[in-house]
């Protein structure tokens, strides 16, 4: 009977090639699982991105449409206000020249206006006040420009009222009223220049180029003046 030692010697050793094959198969299987998980994660990411895009596209389109509508409105309002301000500036010019003669700045001799002439001033300034009342709302620049023009013509209208009161007042009171009228006139011109400067910026932003609608009067040193860019330059 063979000994246990002999039996152990006769046992066939394990096949090394088979072991290596089993290891490779396990390794490949693990790699396949990892690759599958990576692909699955990528697919999930694609689906999530697609879902997000689908949900945000309508919002983006709506925002783009609103911006386009606002831009069109801003351009239309800028055109309308520029035309209106230019027309009013042209019609106010002779009134302001006559007011300058009646209430000149320092160094010039006054040429007082009569009641009839002052009455014509009142007709024009009242028309300007009514034209700029109840403005439509727009963007900030438009609102600032139009509000400045409206405040300016109200100041000019008050200047005319003060001057008309001075015509029938005692000399001492007439002097004070005339000085008040001159100050109100200057305030109106100064405030108009703020509106004209802001409107120039609004017109540039709207693609209309430089538009200068300043009042052509003798300045008191406080009014803003137009830049030196040619009219309409910078349009697109």
* Tens-digit pLDDT profile for residues 201-230: 999 999 999 999 999 776 666 788 889 899
| DSSP string computed for 49-64 | HHHHHHHHHHHHHHHH
Maximum mean pLDDT: which of 8-12, 56-60, 194-198: 194-198
So where are the chain's domains? 81-205
Rounded percentage of the chain residues whose pLDDT exceeds 70: 75
Q: How many CB atoms lie within 10 A of CB 12?
A: 5
Q: Is the pTM of this model over 0.75?
A: no
Q: What is the mean pLDDT of residues 124-138?
A: 94
Q: Is the pLDDT of residue 236 over 50?
A: yes
| pLDDT at residue 28, as a whole number | 47
Q: What is the mean pLDDT of residues 36-60?
A: 64
Place of tokens 């420009």: 145
Contact 121, 95 (CB under 8 A): yes
Query: In the chain, what is the straight-line distance between the N-terminal and C-terminal CA atoms, in Å?
Result: 112
Q: Is the pLDDT of residue 33 over 70?
A: no
């Amino acid at each position: 009977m063979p000994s246990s030692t002999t039996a152990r010697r006769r046992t066939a050793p394990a096949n090394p090639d088979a072991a290596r094959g089993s290891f490779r198969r396990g390794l490949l299987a693990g790699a396949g699982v990892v690759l599958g998980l990576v692909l699955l994660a990528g697919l999930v990411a694609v689906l999530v991105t697609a879902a997000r895009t689908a949900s945000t596209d309508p919002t983006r389109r709506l925002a783009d449409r609103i911006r386009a509508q606002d831009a069109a409105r801003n351009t239309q309002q800028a055109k309308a206000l520029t035309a209106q301000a230019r027309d009013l500036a042209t019609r106010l010019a002779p009134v302001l020249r006559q007011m300058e003669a009646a209430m000149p700045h320092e160094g010039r001799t006054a040429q007082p206006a009569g009641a009839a002439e002052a009455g014509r001033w009142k007709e024009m300034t009242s028309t300007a006040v009514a034209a700029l009342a109840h403005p439509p709302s727009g963007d900030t620049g438009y609102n600032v420009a139009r509000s400045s023009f409206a405040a300016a013509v109200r100041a000019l209208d008050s200047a005319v009222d003060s001057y008309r009161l001075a015509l029938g007042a005692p000399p001492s009171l007439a002097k004070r009223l005339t000085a008040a009228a001159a100050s109100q006139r200057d305030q109106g011109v100064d405030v108009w220049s703020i509106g004209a400067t802001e409107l120039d910026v609004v017109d540039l932003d709207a693609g209309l180029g430089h538009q200068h609608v300043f009042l052509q009067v003798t300045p008191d040193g406080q009014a803003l003046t137009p830049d030196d860019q040619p009219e309409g330059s910078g349009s697109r």
